[in-house]
């Protein structure tokens, strides 16, 4: 009878530990999801800023290339921003 009571108490501890672990896992998952969301928002903001920066240069592109510049730079603004930037130096 005593051993059953002891085992039952042991199970309580195991159950508590399992609940605690699950809570921590859920907390971690929540934070991970938050992080992913904020990263996606940040990436979108960067893309928009790059798109604007590249679009501002469109008037300087030779007329025969302007149409394809507009399409391709809109799709991959970071790539075109890199192609347009110069004077790379350590910060």
List residues binding other proteins (CB under 8 A). 39, 42-43, 46, 49-50, 52-53, 56-57, 59-62, 65, 68-69, 71-73, 76, 78-91
Q: With contact defined as beta carbons under 8 Å apart, do 55 and 80 qualify?
A: no
Nearest distance from residue 45's CB to other proteins, in Å? 10
d(CA 3, CA 17): 21
CB of 48 to other proteins, least distance (A): 10
Residues 15, 62: Cα–Cα separation, whole Å:
71
Pick the closer one to other proteins by CB: 12 or 82.
Answer: 82
Nearer to other proteins, 8 or 87 (CB): 87
Of the candidates 85, 84, 88, 87, the one whose C-alpha atom is nearest the C-alpha of residue 58 is 84
Query: At closest approach, how far in Å is the CB of 41 from other proteins?
Result: 12
Instruction: Specify whether the CB–CB gap between 79 and 52 falls below 8 A.
Output: no
Of residues 12 and 42, the one with the C-beta less far from other proteins: 42
């Amino acid at each position: 009878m005593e051993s059953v009571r002891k085992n039952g108490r042991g199970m309580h501890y195991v159950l508590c530990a399992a609940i605690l672990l699950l809570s921590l896992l859920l907390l971690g998952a929540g934070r991970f999801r938050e992080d992913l969301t904020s990263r996606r928002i940040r990436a979108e903001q960067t893309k928009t800023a790059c798109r604007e920066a590249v679009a501002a240069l469109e008037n300087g592109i030779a007329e025969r290339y302007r149409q394809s510049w507009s399409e391709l730079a809109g799709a991959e603004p970071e790539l075109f921003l890199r192609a347009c930037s110069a004077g790379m130096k350590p910060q």
